[in-house]
Structure 1
């Protein structure tokens, strides 16, 4: 009896708005849709049943046990725009659960091994280290959440995929943060340059100043500030691949005497008395509980009257859970946490810094992600050759899904500008100059 697609479709609240097909020949959902999910084999079915929702769908798709038809894998936006927020299973009653197991077979409820692209979840990392480090208390382990060792591993998981892959996806700027589009027609490269320039102006950079850029990536901010604003810039990153790439770019630009990117945790920077600190896309990796220490460390690195620009993905409120969701945590940003901008502003102010300006550039990130998906699609074969089909698929769905999140105001991007104000003196002008 052909029934898998019909049975699975009934588990989605309201049914799927696209076609669903299965390896037993069954069809369900919106049969007139140009887009379809196709469960190709029993392992794909088991992924869906043992991790209901986005995580199970991602596992089945990344492993090749489920196909997304009607879209390019480099840009599955049209399909995801229809199904996102509609992929959670209804919670069946005990009786319905028994009937479901009877209908689909108990073997399909045994979790398959996740695809190799999946990062170990937090509880498994802790458990494995407890087993491997005999006699040490859990709280003393080096792999507790947001320890330097575990942060380095999380950064390695996402950012050390392949510099060549990132060159294909990000384009010549090698900038993996939200761009700022001066016009609707601006190119990605123009928008990334505009973002860096805005941050330089917000920080009030002038020739001879010293800038610390923490979580600097491939050094885009460091190079822009040194080249166009005449500052001496130091960037730090936990990705060795990023640091190596950035140092080569600095040398090629002839900026060796004024710019440096260092493979280092920001907590290990010994220099101080900087005129400005930029944090562009790092706060998401810090952990909300660590905000006091994080902004306290930044404050300690600033001279009196120095400025901080914090650029961070946020939630649209300050009451939602900080975790980024199962798929993002397992496949994209392990240990990533997002919270509302109000929480970030409060943390900065509680450190003693004075907030001078705060803005949301959410819509710009949707445009940035669309451009990255375009690059992935246009360079698909080269990207697959570089990192493998599974990883390339992860990037396609992650970027398209994130684009939808920004479009729907499920996530935002905030700039918070602050000064190290001492005895009432901030050095800030009467009005903003950017």
Structure 2
């Protein structure tokens, strides 16, 4: 069979370009199919618009557009948790690989499948502008630009997040003390671990940058007796957090502001926590970021930086789906780069820890919550957005499970010029 044939089917073209055997069932609206008939998982291309998406944006972006729009189905899984299907379709750690069409094949393929497929359909409304357009329209990571990006991702709906994240309203990696621990128990354990690493004591002052819905702020105030300030660029997060603080009677010692971290004027904090913010900063901005956090600390004060990293320190592009649908302007690097930048900002690094598998378990919990509340989530944010979240969480879980991405906590101090860090000889949080 040749891709130049006028009788080429969609399934024929798919299998011709695929390197190796197809590990799942593929079916298309032209009646063609490929792959094992008894495969538990598969892809079903429903219409020509879906084909247009795939041909006009080859790779994960075109597939994502077709899926989010409802033109491509993942067979054998719930849209709120397609993890098992994605692992089977990807073929595990090997991944699906396609060859480039030979000269003339691409044109013949388009002719065989329909010349109208050269014209891309309008992108789904859930998709953000491409990075090059965002760069043209303003500097990445300016206060205004960052506020827009945070609004795109976090101001979806507080009710939606309550259903997906659970009562803790914590959108960062949990720490599971045991395999059997619940998601809520693990989120409590994460906050407690951060508090113990920071050695928080009654009467101390904590700054939590990128505080989300205020989980760290409330935990530190309730259980460690500190006074805490949290800041977030999400107006909806800040409003939810302040209401929760009042409900719990913590407003005399806890505050969450709708504020860019760069606009915090207070100094002399005993501790700074950054949980899930570094991913939004941009690697080029790390020197100013960590320098700013250092400036907020008193001498011997502690910093705990908790963020997603790559499994290496090489420069790498963010995937198109993540960049356009989930974290516009987001950027990851390895833990080595994080530690280097903290050190170069003049802080002393004392401890680092990789929580990769904890994030895989966290995402599995969020996927289960989305499945459990699927109908209500769709009613709250729409089918397209719900599909984006199911795909994003399952795909991220796969990345953690396969060690493509990791989660690192790094503990550092603002050590004084005479070498005083305030750290004990051995870690107290491990006892």
Quickly name the TM-score band, shorter chain normalised.
over 0.9
Which of 255, 260, 267 is the matching residue for 2:262?
267
> 2:66 aligns to what?
60
Instruction: Report SS of the residue matched to 1:311.
Output: strand
Which of 219, 222, 227 is the matching residue for 2:217?
222
Supply the RMSD in Å over aligned alpha carbons. 1.2
TM-score, normalisation: structure 1: 0.94
Deviation at 1:319, TM superposition (A): 1.3
Which of 336, 350, 354 is the matching residue for 2:344?
350
* 1:280 is aligned to 2:275: yes
Confirm or deny: 8 A CA contact 2:41 2:89 kept in the other structure.
Answer: no
Gaps of 5+ in 1: 130-142
Following the alignment from structure 1 to structure 2, what is the Cα–Cα distance between the partners of residues 119 and 382? Answer: 24
Which of 324, 335, 338 is the matching residue for 2:329?
335
> In the TM superposition, what are the counterparts of 1:99-248 in structure 2 within 5 Å?
99-127=108-136, 129=137, 143-248=138-243
> 2:29 aligns to what?
23
> 1:427 aligns to what?
422
Deviation at 1:320, TM superposition (A): 4.1
> 1:135 aligns to what?
none
> 1:133 aligns to what?
none
Higher mean displacement: 15-24 or 1-10: 1-10
Which of 42, 46, 50 is the matching residue for 1:40?
46
Following the alignment from structure 2 to structure 1, what is the Cα–Cα distance between the partners of residues 234 and 129? Answer: 19
Instruction: Report SS of the residue matched to 2:222.
Output: helix
Deviation at 1:65, TM superposition (A): 1.1
Instruction: Report SS of the residue matched to 2:376.
Output: helix
Following the alignment from structure 1 to structure 2, what is the Cα–Cα distance between the partners of residues 156 and 264? Answer: 13
Confirm or deny: 8 A CA contact 1:53 1:88 kept in the other structure.
Answer: no
Following the alignment from structure 1 to structure 2, what is the Cα–Cα distance between the partners of residues 426 and 302? Answer: 12
* 1:51 is aligned to 2:57: yes
> In the TM superposition, what are the counterparts of 1:360-399 in structure 2 within 5 Å?
360-399=354-393
Following the alignment from structure 1 to structure 2, what is the Cα–Cα distance between the partners of residues 82 and 64? Answer: 20
Deviation at 1:180, TM superposition (A): 0.3
Following the alignment from structure 1 to structure 2, what is the Cα–Cα distance between the partners of residues 162 and 10? Answer: 43
Deviation at 1:15, TM superposition (A): 4.9
TM-score, normalisation: structure 2: 0.95
